[in-house]
């Protein structure tokens, strides 16, 4: 029973895999143009994603820089200006 079911699924899978091959053999030019268009579209999307991520990296400060600014801001409320100058001197 299970063997018959597995055999039937195998036949259905084989038929499904053979049909696209037949379509490509019957229509080679449209199939090639379709794959070229899909590849071009994926390439454009990947290029835009990489470009936007590089732009974001240059515009936004790093996590350590943001944390440094927060620490200096918190210390500026507690320390005198002369002490802040010393802290900035040691931090740089």
Question: Closest by alpha carbon to 73, among 62, 84, 83, 63?
Answer: 84
pTM: 0.41
Coil, helix or strand for 37?
A: helix
Residues recorded for the chain? 92
**59-80: per-residue pLDDT in tens?**
677 788 888 888 888 888 888 8
**25-56: per-residue pLDDT in tens?**
888 898 899 899 999 989 888 888 887 766 65
Percent of the chain exceeding pLDDT 70 equals 84
């Amino acid at each position: 029973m299970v063997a018959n079911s597995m055999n039937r699924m195998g036949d259905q899978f084989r038929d499904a895999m053979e049909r696209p091959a037949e379509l490509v053999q019957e229509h080679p030019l449209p199939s090639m143009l379709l794959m070229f268009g899909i590849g071009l579209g994926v390439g454009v999307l990947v290029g835009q994603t990489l470009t936007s991520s590089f732009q974001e990296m240059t515009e936004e400060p790093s996590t350590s820089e943001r944390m440094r600014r927060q620490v200096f801001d918190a210390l500026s409320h507690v320390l005198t200006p002369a002490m802040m100058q010393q802290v900035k001197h040691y931090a740089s």
